[in-house]
Amino acid sequence: MRLEGKTAIVTGAGSGFGAGIAKRFLEEGAKVMIADINETNAKAVAHEFGGLAQRVDVANGPSVNDMVDRAIAEFGHVDILVNNAGVTHLPNAMELVSEDDFDRVFAVNCKSVYLTARALVPHFKSRKAGNILNVASTAGVSPRPRLNWYNSSKGWMNTATRAMAVELAPEGIRVNAINPVAGDTPLLPSFLGDDTPEMRAKFLSTIPIGRFSTPEDMANAALYLCSDEASMVTGVCMQVDGGRCI
């Protein structure tokens, strides 16, 4: 029960890594808001594991404000925020990615971090405590061709994590990130472009441990970084990648 008495918001928790993180946090004693743009998925995860389902568009300020306001109203306070919601564009030459796809990637992956900070950091400051975990990607550490603007958005998240950490540390607020390698989640076909056994084998050949990551892998890393065991850890962008970035 490493999060007993804690409360958390996990965005993009209706599937994939977010659902895995929410499940583990609940198992470890936290009260968790399972936030997702797909309300049906959020409710399904909450029904299966517990937690409070909430629809949110993380790229929309009023929607993010409603999420934070409800979490504080239901839980009394918020201890942990996991910015997990993310999207990608299909693999393509950088100059051929549409402007709409570019805007969507940066709105969901980057603007969301600003919007959640704007909504929740004042609450954290008032309590002189808080914990933010940003879910970036190995794409932001070791970029791959044809995912240029997705790579860039995740690199932005890593830089934002460090900038937030150094500014918020005196306020008692820790900010870290995890950099997952691709997992067998709903986003995988978008990364691969052509989800075939051959493409999967090609991708797996770049991961020394030899497998895709799992929601459990991310949940374990998130649990440590968001627990009191990591009370001296801030500004860390942890690679959870089976050695891909070595």
- Quick one: which of 188, 97, 91 has its CA closest to 143? 91
Q: Is residue 36 part of a domain?
A: yes
Q: Structural domain tally of the chain?
A: 1
- Quick one: which of 122, 105, 222, 235 has its CA closest to 169? 235
Q: Is residue 155 part of a domain?
A: yes
130: left (phi over 0), alpha (psi -120 to 50) or beta: left
Q: Is residue 79 part of a domain?
A: yes
86-132 pLDDT, tens digit per residue, is 999 999 999 999 999 999 999 999 999 999 999 999 999 999 999 99
Q: What percent of the chain has pLDDT over 90?
A: 89
Taking the C-alpha atoms of residue 183 and residue 17, their distance in angstroms, rounded to an integer, is 8
In the set 17, 75, 150, 191, the catalytic residue is 150
pLDDT for res 192: 74
pLDDT for res 144: 87
Q: Is residue 246 part of a domain?
A: no
CATH of the domain at 139: 3.40.50.720
pTM (2 d.p.)? 0.95
Q: Is residue 245 part of a domain?
A: no
Is 224 assigned a catalytic role? no
Instruction: Say which amino acid occupies 184.
Output: D
Q: Is residue 227 part of a domain?
A: yes
Q: Is residue 1 part of a domain?
A: no
What is the signed CA dihedral for 231, 234, 239, 240, rounded to 10 degrees? Answer: 30
pLDDT for res 241: 95
Q: Is residue 2 part of a domain?
A: no
173-203 pLDDT, tens digit per residue, is 999 999 999 887 777 777 677 778 888 888 8
Taking the C-alpha atoms of residue 75 and residue 97, their distance in angstroms, rounded to an integer, is 42
At CA 70, angle to CA 167 and CA 117, rounded to 5?
A: 15
Host domain of residue 90: 7-240
